[in-house]
């Protein structure tokens, strides 16, 4: 396989979902002529650290500037035949035309951020630059059908230019283990911030507790709203029903998913929603919001249930239904496992190479 350069702001150690996806990709293709470029501080073979002063101050935008200034140099120095840029909100913008094929991976868009999160209205300033990135790309990989739809309808990107390759999990890391379920347990895993909908979930808990007094919400993760959510739990008199677990290491996630009676993903929107397929891989059903990135995966009642974001009684009702009638989730489709993810990615890279 020809040399491919993969550019990403988030890699290993992870910051968020893009880091998880690109590190999964790294583990699968690291011996196949692929080099990874990122600001991450690690000594992984095949990783070239981006050491550029602007990254410390303007983060993803700094990487975009570095790439704009250095692309011809790195193509020549590393003999690259193809470029894969991990873009979308939280990723890297790239809007110049170069001599080698460019594949853009879109994790989600700035249009979704400013539309769905009212406090982030200012992010619409990035949309013209983001649109140019996708217009200049030779091929676009979308994490889910929702993202593809946004690019088609809001950015006027031709459908034939796009392909959906879903994010994936390793069968060896997420599986049904037979752990005993924690009675009336509800699990949240993720960042504790506005977009992830933790406040929506906690404000729905009084309705659950009213009917199931021993219901237990376990909140795994950290984030900017952690202290605010602790205070909210106290204000709602939910200290007996909500436990904050802190950050959960990857090697403990599968056991926790298996022990929960249901997993809740209450986000305002997602680029994909890794928690959904991790939980389903462990055989645990998901109650999610009917929003971009989640509705693309929870497509069947055999996986769980979808509720409107912001409807506290609907969320509480769906949670109570799962607690009162516990059952395993349907087995995940093969497209959500890493072997198909790897093969699909390699096929796109190979087809793009001249």
Give the C-alpha separation, 50 to 37, whole Å.
Answer: 6
Whether 24 is covered by a domain: the verdict is: yes
CA terminus-to-terminus distance, the chain: 11
Give the C-alpha separation, 322 to 87, whole Å.
Answer: 36
Whether 117 is covered by a domain: the verdict is: yes
Q: Are residues 131 and 27 in the same domain?
A: yes
Q: Are residues 132 and 190 in the same domain?
A: no
Distances (CA, A) of 308 to 265, 299, 315, 327: 12, 15, 8, 23
Expressed as residue numbers, the domain containing 17 is: 4-168+337-352
Sheet arrangement for strand 286-289: 242-246, 216-220, 185-189, 262-265, 286-289, 304-307
Omega into 303 within 30° of 0, i.e. cis?
Answer: no
Whether 180 is covered by a domain: the verdict is: no
Q: Are residues 291 and 312 in the same domain?
A: yes
Q: Are residues 31 and 130 in the same domain?
A: yes
Give the C-alpha separation, 272 to 321, whole Å.
Answer: 25
* Furthest-apart CA atoms within the chain: distance in Å: 65
Q: 181: how many CB neighbours lie within 10 A of its CB?
A: 13
The beta strands (E) that lie in the chain are given as 4-7, 34-38, 47-49, 82-87, 102-106, 139-142, 162-164, 185-189, 216-220, 242-246, 262-265, 286-289, 304-307
Q: Are residues 144 and 49 in the same domain?
A: yes
Q: Are residues 309 and 348 in the same domain?
A: no
Whether 173 is covered by a domain: the verdict is: no
Whether 104 is covered by a domain: the verdict is: yes
The beta strands (E) that lie in 172-330 are given as 185-189, 216-220, 242-246, 262-265, 286-289, 304-307
Domain CATH number, residue 195: 3.40.50.2000
Whether 295 is covered by a domain: the verdict is: yes
Indicate the burial class of 67 (C-beta count within 10 angstroms; 0-12, 13-18, 19 or more). buried
Give the C-alpha separation, 251 to 237, whole Å.
Answer: 32
The pLDDT of residue 158 is: 97
Q: Are residues 146 and 231 in the same domain?
A: no
Q: What is the pTM of this model?
A: 0.93
How many domains is the chain built from? Answer: 2
Whether 42 is covered by a domain: the verdict is: yes
Q: Are residues 146 and 197 in the same domain?
A: no
The pLDDT of residue 2 is: 61
Q: Is residue 182 classed as helix, strand or coil in its secondary structure?
A: coil
Per-residue pLDDT of the chain (354 residues; tens, 9 = 90+): 469 999 999 999 988 889 999 999 999 998 888 999 999 999 999 999 999 999 999 999 999 999 999 999 999 999 999 999 999 888 999 988 899 999 999 999 999 999 999 888 888 999 999 999 999 999 999 999 999 999 999 999 999 999 999 999 999 999 999 889 999 999 999 999 999 999 999 999 999 999 999 999 999 999 999 999 999 999 999 999 999 999 999 999 999 999 999 999 999 999 999 999 999 999 999 999 999 999 999 998 999 999 999 999 999 999 999 999 999 999 999 999 999 999 999 999 989 887
The pLDDT of residue 90 is: 85
- Minimal CA–CA distance to 286: which of 241, 312, 318, 313? 318
Q: Are residues 327 and 229 in the same domain?
A: yes
Token pair belonging to 326: 């516990």
Q: Are residues 10 and 158 in the same domain?
A: yes
Q: Are residues 154 and 11 in the same domain?
A: yes
The residues with which 82 forms a beta bridge, in sequence order, are 4
Whether 176 is covered by a domain: the verdict is: no
Q: Are residues 105 and 249 in the same domain?
A: no
Give the C-alpha separation, 290 to 287, whole Å.
Answer: 10
């Amino acid at each position: 396989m020809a040399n491919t350069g993969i550019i990403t702001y988030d890699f290993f150690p992870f910051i968020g979902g893009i880091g998880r996806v690109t590190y999964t990709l790294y583990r699968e293709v690291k011996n196949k002529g692929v080099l990874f470029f990122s600001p991450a501080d690690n000594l992984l073979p095949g990783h070239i650290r981006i050491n550029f002063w602007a990254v410390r101050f303007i983060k993803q935008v700094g990487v975009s500037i570095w790439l704009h200034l250095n692309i011809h140099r790195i193509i020549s120095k590393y003999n690259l035949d193809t470029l894969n840029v991990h873009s979308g909100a939280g990723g890297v913008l790239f809007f110049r035309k170069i001599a080698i094929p460019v594949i853009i991976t879109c994790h989600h868009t700035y249009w979704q951020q400013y539309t769905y999160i009212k406090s982030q209205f200012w992010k619409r300033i990035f949309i013209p630059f983001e649109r140019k990135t996708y217009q200049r790309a030779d091929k676009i990989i979308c994490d889910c059908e929702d993202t593809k739809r946004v690019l088609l309808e809001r950015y006027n990107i031709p459908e034939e230019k796009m392909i959906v390759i879903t994010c994936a999990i390793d069968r060896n890391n997420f599986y049904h283990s037979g752990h005993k379920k924690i009675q009336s347990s509800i699990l949240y895993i993720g960042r504790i911030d506005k977009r992830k909908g933790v406040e929506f979930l906690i404000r729905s808990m009084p309705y659950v507790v009213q009917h199931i007094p021993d219901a237990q919400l376990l909140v795994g993760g950290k984030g900017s709203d952690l202290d605010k959510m602790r205070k909210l739990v106290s204000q709602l008199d939910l200290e007996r029903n909500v436990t904050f677990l802190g950050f959960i290491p990857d090697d403990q996630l599968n056991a926790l998913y298996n022990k929960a009676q249901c997993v809740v993903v209450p986000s305002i929107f997602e680029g994909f929603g890794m928690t959904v397929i991790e939980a389903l891989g462990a055989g645990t059903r998901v109650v999610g919001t009917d929003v971009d990135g989640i509705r693309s995966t929870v497509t069947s009642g055999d996986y769980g249930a979808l509720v409107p974001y912001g409807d506290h009684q609907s969320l509480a009702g769906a949670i109570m239904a799962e607690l009162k009638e516990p059952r395993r989730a349907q087995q995940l489709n093969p497209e959500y496992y890493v072997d198909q993810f790897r093969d699909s990615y390699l096929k796109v890279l190979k087809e793009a190479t001249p």
